[in-house]
Structure 1
Amino acid sequence: MVDIIYVLELIGIAAFAISGMIVARSKNMDPVGVFTIGFITALGGGTLRDLIMDNHPLYWIKHQELPMLILAMAIVFSYWQRAERLRESRILLPDAIGLGVFSILGAQLALDLGHSLFVASLLGVMTGTFGGALRDTLCNEVPYIFRKDQIYASISFAGCWVYFLCQWLLSNEALPLTIGLLFIVMVRLLAVRFDIRLQRDPGNH
């Protein structure tokens, strides 16, 4: 039987790694830089989560195939000529997918380790956003999570609670995962498309 959690983790890691590598290539980084940014984007949030919860060994150390996958992707990205023409705006979809996957899976891991719903939701947000925040910081960009013109962490937080609610209402294990993931991805994309923000400057309509 296919392990749906592991498949989702692979999708999230690949999506976040791609978003990091697109930004790295746009900053004219060499292959080492492309790998580093891809690695940090994909695994930074999960690493912080594991350290906070004292969950050892760290997930990517336990599953060494994950950094190996990122390394292979970095090599392809570094020598794929068309990658140079990918603009940073192209990271929106893979970043939204990574945000959704890691927010939900991070929250579930926290629940599995016995934490409360509220703490699990915060750890889910941390898992989903920290890698992207590191990516943007290292690439000299203001992280999405701190931009007034972006709605980001709050979508992750709300998505975790949608997931918890679906777990309570539905007996099927896969359905709450799917609903929570799609909620985060779709709301993130719609927020960017329609310029939805938590706060606007006075006079900015």
Structure 2
Amino acid sequence: MFEVIYLLEMIGVIAFAFSGMIAARAKNMDPVGIYTIAFITALGGGTLRDLIMDNHPLYWIRHEEQPILILALAVAYSYLRPLSRLRESNIIVPDAIGLGIFTMLGAQLALELGHSFFIASLLGVMTGTFGGLLRDTLCNEVPFIFRKDQVYASVAFAGCWLSFLVDYLFHQTEIALAAGVVAIVVLRLLAVRFDIRLQRDQPEPR
């Protein structure tokens, strides 16, 4: 089980790091800025989760290979032309993958520490969204989680509860985690593709 969790973590780190790097490049940041935004995007949610649950030392301090990996990716992105050509429109897929993975990992850790399903789902959403919130704020953009466009945090919340249901029915944590991740990623991409929103602007009265 640990190997599966760790593999998901590394995939999530890479996905969110790329979403941060793309956002930083869109704002014409230098390599230091690109690394900073990538680091915050990839590890910000987990840091908040660990601080809230008093989980010390922070996960990325215990696993220094993660910030080292982000540094290597940032250098490659800054100086390798094929990678640097990625644009802001390419942020949706890696952001959705990172959202799904980190949401479910945060929720799973909360459950392992004895928290209720509801608290676990909230901590999962925080883990999945906080890094992106910091990324967008530092890049002077309205964060995805606060935009009145396609659903974002709500799909993370729904994915948590789907995972809880699958685990309750089949008692297979790995399958439940995978179901939650896939559901969040697919729902997020569908929301973008079909412009699914929780609320739409009301037409002005004539």
Q: TM-score, normalised by structure 1?
A: 0.96
**8 Å contact from structure 2 (residues 76, 83) kept in 1:** no
Match of 1:16 in 2: 16
Counterpart residue type for residue 192 of structure 1: V
Match of 1:85 in 2: 85
Aligned residues: 204
Match of 1:166 in 2: 166
TM-superposed CA distance for 1:191, in Å, is 0.4
Runs of 5+ unmatched residues, structure 2: none
TM-superposed CA distance for 1:2, in Å, is 7.3
Counterpart residue type for residue 133 of structure 1: L
Runs of 5+ unmatched residues, structure 1: none
TM-superposed CA distance for 1:100, in Å, is 0.2
Deviations 1:20-65 (A, max 9, x none): 0011111111111010000000000000010011000100001000
Counterpart-to-counterpart distance in 1, 2:82 and 2:13: 22
Match of 2:155 in 1: 155
RMSD: 1.3
- Counterpart of 1:3 in 2: which secondary structure? helix
Cα 1:28–1:193 shift into 2, 3 Å: same
Counterpart-to-counterpart distance in 2, 1:143 and 1:133: 5
Counterpart residue type for residue 31 of structure 2: P
Match of 2:201 in 1: 201
Within 5 Å, give how 1:38-57 maps onto structure 2: 38-57=38-57
**8 Å contact from structure 1 (residues 121, 157) kept in 2:** yes
Within 5 Å, give how 1:8-157 maps onto structure 2: 8-157=8-157
Pick which of 6-15 and 169-178 moved more: 169-178
Counterpart residue type for residue 145 of structure 1: I
**8 Å contact from structure 1 (residues 25, 83) kept in 2:** no
- The percentage of counterpart residues that share the same residue type is 70
Match of 2:191 in 1: 191
Pick which of 89-98 and 21-30 moved more: 21-30
Q: TM-score, normalised by structure 2?
A: 0.96
Counterpart residue type for residue 22 of structure 1: I
Cα 1:52–1:2 shift into 2, 3 Å: closer
Match of 1:4 in 2: 4
**8 Å contact from structure 2 (residues 16, 98) kept in 1:** yes
Counterpart residue type for residue 67 of structure 2: P
